[in-house]
Amino acid sequence: MRVGVIGTGFAASSHVDALSRVPGVEVAGIAGSRPERGREAAARLGVDQAYPDWRALLADDSVDAVHDCTPNYLHAEINRAVLESGKHLLSEKPLAMNSEESGTLVEVAASAPGLSGVCFNYRHFPLVRHLRNTLVERGAGPVHMVHGAYLQDWLLEPTDWNWRLDPEKGGASRALADIGSHWLDLAQHVAGDRVIEVLADLGTLHAERLRPAGEVETFARDARPDRETVGVFSEDMGSVLLRFASGARGSLTVSQVSAGWKNRLVLEVDAARASYVWNQEDPNRLRIGRRDGPNAELPRDPTLLSPAAARLAHFPGGHQEGWPDGLKNLFIEFYDAVRAGAEGRPAEPSFASFADAHQVIRVVEAALASHRSGQWTKVED
């Protein structure tokens, strides 16, 4: 299976690394925003070929699948072109800049010959899969509350900059669309439920930032002294109350300006007979809370997990696995599903579909509308 990667930043580098650990998959080449960026990334990542642009990559009939790791504003155009080329497609989130674009992509994907999916990679941690199995099978009874946070600090200072701060490239929402979308997808996937209404309060810490000339890689700090003062029109932080289709309630706190938190995604689920806490920065432990007995901790040990979750644990208990391994698990599942389709075998993939990603964009848009109105806002169906 020959795979082309479009993009040269943090996401693309992570994809190339994970793909190198997936059996039966070869990274055929990489394409950047400019030919020289593609060549530099190919040399840095050990990829044999650099395409002059993404269109040249799509024109290569030897490429079977494409990973879209470009900035948000390019997703709709590139994703549609990949689908129409007949190649398989894994897109970074968000699927598109808005629900109009993502809705069109859902329709195109439905009739496209290639398989498509979206990189909501937190679904693919072993303990997350175990928790989903427990909740969906009602092992702890019905869920009545889902709450948590996604906190980072890489945009804390007014001198911190990245293309995501430009609404023309990142979109109308930033913290909520960029990292909150991961939490929203994870919460809905694990609980087997859908957010149908939101009440949001969003905030911008820095109304102005100092932008350096040129590009700044994601999570990088830039010390260049020559800077331009620019306005910021997207949120740095926010809180969202949630109502689910089942009647469950929830809350999400999201921030890219919380000092000391590098990538703290925490999901807490309260069910009738137990509560559960999973923290992405400590991903090999699942806390289980009980009212009438001692609390417990489930380690990421394949001998203790449900069969579906154990398949995602590639090392024995105590041999820690983390963020890069969750991404690898997503890719293994995606390409297993591709092969199953080619061989006429059934497959039950758990990776996020274009329809799932479209729904998350709807939730984010409802939160933006709620913040503007100060009222509960329904998620458009």
- The pLDDT tens digits for 229-259 are 999 999 999 999 999 999 999 999 999 999 9
Of the pLDDT bands very low, low, confident and very high (cuts 50, 70, 90), residue 39 is very high
Summarised one tens digit per residue, pLDDT across range 56-79 is 999 999 999 999 999 999 999 999
Q: Is the pLDDT of residue 263 over 90?
A: yes
When pLDDT is averaged across residues 2-21 and rounded to a whole number, the result is 97
Task: Please give the DSSP secondary-structure letter assigned to residue 297.
Answer: E
In angstroms, rounded to a whole number, what is the distance separating the alpha carbons of residues 270 and 35? 51
- Sheet with 296-299, strands from edge to edge, namely 296-299, 282-289, 275-279, 264-271, 143-151, 249-255, 237-244, 195-203, 377-378
pLDDT at 178: 96
Alpha helix (H) residue ranges in the chain: 10-19, 35-45, 54-59, 75-85, 99-111, 126-136, 167-170, 175, 181-191, 307-310, 323-343, 354-373
Q: Is 332 helix (H, G, I), strand (E, B) or coil?
A: helix
Task: Confirm if 362 and 197 have CB atoms less than 8 A apart.
Answer: no
pLDDT at 256: 98
Task: Please give the DSSP secondary-structure letter assigned to residue 124.
Answer: G
pLDDT at 285: 98
pLDDT at 138: 85
Summarised one tens digit per residue, pLDDT across range 279-335 is 999 999 999 999 999 999 999 999 999 999 999 999 999 999 999 999 999 999 999
Beta strands at 26-31 and 2-6: parallel, antiparallel or unpaired: parallel
Number of H helices, E strands in the chain: 12, 17
Exposure class string for 288-312: b at 16+ Cβ within 10 A, else e: beeeeeeeeebebbbeebbeebbeb
Summarised one tens digit per residue, pLDDT across range 182-218 is 999 999 999 999 999 999 999 999 999 999 987 887 8
Summarised one tens digit per residue, pLDDT across range 342-371 is 999 988 899 999 999 999 999 999 999 999
Task: Confirm if 288 and 171 have CB atoms less than 8 A apart.
Answer: no
Question: H/E element holding 115?
Answer: none
Q: Which token pair is 128?
A: 């997350």
Q: Is the pLDDT of residue 132 over 80?
A: yes
pLDDT at 217: 79
CA 248 vs CA 150, 157, 184: distances in Å: 20, 37, 14
Summarised one tens digit per residue, pLDDT across range 16-28 is 999 999 999 999 9
CA 253 vs CA 184, 225, 258, 277: distances in Å: 11, 33, 11, 15
CA 208 vs CA 172, 228, 235, 305, 367: distances in Å: 16, 10, 12, 48, 23
pLDDT at 213: 85
Q: Is the pLDDT of residue 223 over 80?
A: no
Burial of 263 (0-12, 13-18, 19+ CB in 10 A): middle
pLDDT at 220: 78
Burial of 170 (0-12, 13-18, 19+ CB in 10 A): buried
Q: Which token pair is 201?
A: 């309060």
**pTM of the entire structure?**
0.96
pLDDT at 367: 98
